Amino acid sequence: MILALPIQAVPTSPLISTLLLDLALLSLLVIVAFAIVRMRSLFAIVMLQGVFSLVAAAWFVTLDAVDVAFTEAAVGAGVSTVLMLAAILLAQRRTSYVPMKQQWGPLVAVLVAGAALLYAVPDLPAYGDADSPANAYVGTDYLARTAVEVDIPNVVTAVLASYRGYDTFGEVVVIFAAGLGVLLLLGFDGLAGTFRARVMGRRLSDPSAPSGVRKRDAGTEVVPRESDASGEGAT
């Protein structure tokens, strides 16, 4: 029964220091976003995306959403940065300059979407509003009942694993399906299956999918080892 989180104690007007911290972090996010838009080097962009995730994680901490901050720092700043780096290696390192006359369409789309978001802002509940949908209905129910029914201090875990066990099961199956899809397409060595294509009437068949290897020196690194080839790849 350590659960004594007084959610009503959130002050109606947030502390001035918290407000300043929030403003600083949010303006940092905007600055990083503009820097990302204006950059041409994909390597720097990926690094800045990691910075963006890290600042967002810090902001989530000030909002007391520590679980979300955790996930943002680990997935956004950690794993996805590395995956993006791996993706860059298969592509160009720099984007080319896009002339202004090709950017009117995207600009209009962004302006319309931004106007729609601004239009929706007045409908959002105020920060810390006790009557907001997140603090009413089933949320308060979970908070009140976790201490009695599940008796663990972290209500987030109780909601995630017990009250919303179906949802979490679905998420795990989605993650499993994503991993399965990647493995079926690429395999652990990135070379699963037989690659077949029809090029100018000629049928090509190759034991490996085309990858960045062949442009440089043909496979000293990526040749699957004996132990791997027995289970994967050689289907």
Partner 1 sequence: MNGDPHVLLRVIAKFLIPLIALFAFYVQFHGEYGPGGGFQAGVILSASVILYSLIFGLNAAKRAFPPVLIRIGMSLGVLLYGGTGVLTWIQGGEFLNYSVLAHDAIHGQHWGIIAVELGVFATVTSVMLAIFYAFGSRQPSIEDQDW
Q: List residues binding partner 1 (CB under 8 A).
A: 43, 66-67, 69-71, 74-75, 78-79, 82-83, 86-87, 89-90, 93, 149-154, 156-158, 160-162, 165-166, 168-169, 171-173, 175-176, 178-180, 182-183, 185-191, 211-213, 216-217, 220-222, 228, 231-232
CB-nearer residue toward partner 1: 87 or 109: 87
CA distance 224 to 208: 10
CB-nearer residue toward partner 1: 112 or 180: 180
**Per-residue 3-state assignment (H helix, E strand, C coil) for the chain:** CCCCCCHHHCCCCCCHHHHHHHHHHHHHHHHHHHHHHHCCEHHHHHHHHHHHHHHHHHHHHHCCCHHHHHHHHHHHHHHHHHHHHHHHHCCCCECCCCCHHHCHHHHHHHHHHHHHHHHHHHHCCCCCCCCCHHHCCHHHHHHHHHHHHCCCCCHHHHHHHHHCHHHHHHHHHHHHHHHHHHHHHHCCCCCCCCEEEEECCEEEEECCCCCCCCCCCCCCCCCCCHHHHHHCCCC
Amino acid in position 173: V
CB-nearer residue toward partner 1: 41 or 103: 41
CB-nearer residue toward partner 1: 80 or 129: 80
Amino acid in position 108: V
Least distance from C-beta 58 to partner 1, angstroms? 14
Least distance from C-beta 31 to partner 1, angstroms? 25
CB-nearer residue toward partner 1: 38 or 225: 225
Least distance from C-beta 233 to partner 1, angstroms? 10
Least distance from C-beta 105 to partner 1, angstroms? 31
Least distance from C-beta 120 to partner 1, angstroms? 29
CB-nearer residue toward partner 1: 111 or 182: 182
Least distance from C-beta 40 to partner 1, angstroms? 15
